[in-house]
Structure 1
Amino acid sequence: MIPAIGWLLSSFLVAWLSARAAIAYAHRRGMLDRPGQRRSHSIPTPRGGGVGIVVASLLCLPGVLLGTAEPWPPRVLIGLLVALLLVALAGWWDDHRSLPILPRFGAQLLAVLLFAVASGVAGLSWWWLPVLVLGGAWSINLHNFMDGIDGLLAQQAMFVGTGLALLAWGGGQEALALAAGCLAAASLGFWCLNRSPARIFMGDVGSGSVGLLIFAFTVMLGRAGAWLLWPALILSSAFVVDASLTLLSRFWRGRRWYTAHREHLYQWLVRCGLTHAGGGVIYMTWNLLFAAPLAWLAWSHPRQALPTTMGAYLAAAALWLLLKRRCLRRRSNKDRHVAA
């Protein structure tokens, strides 16, 4: 237990210290997100603080995944670290100067492919390779899309990391449990500087890396026990539903899905007068009152795991539609009042 606490504290401190250093670095390099029509903040804010989560993961994951009584295969760890480096470097480049979508997406696909191949070599069925590549790329991008208000992505990473750690611990995977716990601890270290009002934003270097790590730990959990995959997917339901339904709605309306916008539910909540902290409370309320209990239900009743997961996502989609319509109606009434 003492070494585990040490790894968790190290992850927290490395992420916090690195994020503090990133604030000064961003000011020197002019890496500031400035307010605009498609942004939800009102003052210029440095970006790139998510590098702390990356540094903490690169330093702690080797010791965590290889230093326990039942270590993970070295090939899986190497594949994970190389993938993390690729995604983080592409995000870091994009935080400094805009990186075109094709090279950025290509780096993400290569990163996920490397991790998937490493998992396949270690015993995962090769039939899963296309699913893993597409799922990993979507996880990276959806977490990037959902990083738009203070503290939201960091608190989600804390929740999902903690949930994955508990699932792995319950499944007898102590090394994976500690690895997911380190992600949660590192996210907490960054959140201390990112909570509203944010002193620094995560940036693409952090959002893409968090998406990759959540995806990788979910896959590793499913590899340890297929029945653990369903509760793990429930933990991410809030972000997956918001990002997916927003993307589908933009496709349906013929809009460019890859351009900056303010059409996610969390952005509409802020546009309708809710604070950044208030928007985060809504997502955490779903996580604690619905996602966590349903994940426990799927874990404790494996035979009902699939219908429980489907029910969780349907409920999240229904809530998304309800809140989105309320925001649109409130915005429309406000615009008519201003026009009058």
Structure 2
Amino acid sequence: MPHFAIPGLWLLAGFAIGCASTWMARRYALRRRLIDQPGERRSHQAATPRGGGVSIVVVLLLAAAALAVAAPGHLPSIALAAAGLALVAGIGWIDDHRPLSPLLRLCVHVFAATLLAVALGLEGGDWKDMATAFVAAVVLTNVWNFMDGIDGIATSQAILVAAAWALFAGEGPVFWLGLALAAGACGFLPFNFPGARIFLGDVGSGALGYALAALLALVSMHRGSDGRVLLLFPLLPFLLDASLTLLARMVRGEAWWRPHVQHAYQAWARRAGSHSVVTLAYAGATLVAVLAMFAMHSWSSTAIMSTYVIFLAAGGLAWMILRRQASPDKSDSL
């Protein structure tokens, strides 16, 4: 990045563009009647426009363009990653206007993940780095879509994870792209929390997951296997809730790909009668995981893996407790 790139100005620009774009997206959604209605498979109680996450996509694509201008030697890899982001956001944008089949969306996600993997290869990554990029893109794109169910939770988690990885990287494209993602998401957040005036929509949730996958792949490429495990710590609250809930639905023979309100965070929000409490609690859990990531950056691989297993066990136990206590239907537990 050129010497005149000041983090404060970069953040301010991303925040301002995010705010302005979200305001315009809300006007567009209201005019086009892109409205999510309350229902048994929804956690909100009022009709709310969707698709506001397109503002974050705008910020990320502009940031990618700025990086391409500043570092023209990396233009092919930046262009591929940006194309993948545009594909994920584009299929989500279409789905926000008219429902598409899950299989079609997954096919687009897989193709976009392939573009990200090739981009990592162009940056000098080996097959492990490319595999990390591919798997992370498919998984996180869908995890962020699954977990975007109450006010502010998907956006606040993306802000915390992106900012943590940016600071962990300290320099280079991850630092600037991580700041851009966090800034754009901060520009959207006041419209979504507390009390949502617009939702991310599939355009936003999928794009957040894909962008985080790109950051994860870039950082892990330079950190090796130990770095990959460390970087997973901030993702634990979302990964655990998404994966354990998915497993529970599969075990019960349910159509796991369909919308539902069975995640631990959704069950907790119903019992608490508040989205804000749950969103802030998940943010607190992520902050603990972020602090653990920084504290362990010089630990041995054995110590890191042991701590990760402890975090997994604690998170799994918390998930079971939340599901059992927050759901009046005990069959909702695994």
| Residue 135 of structure 2: aligned partner | 134
CA distance in 1 between partners of 2:115 and 2:166 (Å): 24
**1:319 positional shift:** 1.4
Equivalent residues of 1:76, 1:119 under 8 A apart: yes
| Residue 272 of structure 2: aligned partner | 273
Indicate yes or no: 2:44 matched with 1:41: yes
| Residue 186 of structure 1: aligned partner | 184
Q: Unmatched 5+ residue regions in structure 1?
A: 334-340
The farther-off stretch of 79-88 and 124-133 is 124-133
| Residue 23 of structure 1: aligned partner | 26
| Residue 323 of structure 2: aligned partner | 324
> Structure 1: which amino acid aligns with 2:65?
P
Q: Unmatched 5+ residue regions in structure 2?
A: none
| Residue 125 of structure 1: aligned partner | 126
CA distance in 1 between partners of 2:273 and 2:230 (Å): 30
Q: What pairs with 1:54-65 in structure 2 (closer than 5 Å)?
A: 54-64=57-67
> Structure 2: which amino acid aligns with 1:113?
T
> Structure 2: which amino acid aligns with 1:299?
H
Q: What SS class does the counterpart of residue 225 from structure 1 fall into?
A: helix
**1:166 positional shift:** 1.0
| Residue 200 of structure 1: aligned partner | 198
| Residue 314 of structure 1: aligned partner | 313
> Structure 1: which amino acid aligns with 2:146?
F
| Residue 88 of structure 2: aligned partner | 87
What RMSD, in angstroms, separates the aligned Cα atoms of the two structures?
A: 1.9
Q: What pairs with 1:1-340 in structure 2 (closer than 5 Å)?
A: 3-64=6-67, 67=70, 73-127=74-128, 129-169=130-170, 173-226=171-224, 227-288=226-287, 290-303=288-301, 304-328=303-327, 331=328
CA distance in 1 between partners of 2:272 and 2:314 (Å): 25
**1:321 positional shift:** 1.4
CA distance in 1 between partners of 2:280 and 2:273 (Å): 10
CA distance in 1 between partners of 2:132 and 2:218 (Å): 14
The farther-off stretch of 318-327 and 146-155 is 318-327
CA distance in 2 between partners of 1:293 and 1:2 (Å): 27
CA distance in 1 between partners of 2:257 and 2:235 (Å): 22
> Structure 2: which amino acid aligns with 1:280?
T
**1:8 positional shift:** 1.3
After superposition, what is the alpha-carbon deviation per residue over 1:238-289, rounded to whole angstroms, capped at 9, x for unaligned? 000000000000000000011011100111012213301011021012112x
Distance 1:131 1:159, change over 3 A: closer
CA distance in 1 between partners of 2:70 and 2:168 (Å): 20
**1:120 positional shift:** 1.6
Equivalent residues of 1:72, 1:175 under 8 A apart: no
After superposition, what is the alpha-carbon deviation per residue over 1:180-219, rounded to whole angstroms, capped at 9, x for unaligned? 0111111111001110211100000000000001111000
CA distance in 2 between partners of 1:133 and 1:9 (Å): 31
Equivalent residues of 2:136, 2:217 under 8 A apart: no
After superposition, what is the alpha-carbon deviation per residue over 1:158-197, rounded to whole angstroms, capped at 9, x for unaligned? 100110111111xxx3332121011111111100111021
> Structure 2: which amino acid aligns with 1:42?
Q
TM, length-normalised to structure 2: 0.92
Using the aligned pairs only, state the percent identity: 34
> Structure 2: which amino acid aligns with 1:86?
L
Equivalent residues of 2:165, 2:215 under 8 A apart: yes
Q: Which runs of 4+ in 1 moved over 6 A?
A: none
The farther-off stretch of 223-232 and 244-253 is 223-232
> Structure 2: which amino acid aligns with 1:252?
V
**1:228 positional shift:** 2.9
Count of residues in Structure 1 that have an aligned counterpart in Structure 2: 325
**1:131 positional shift:** 5.0
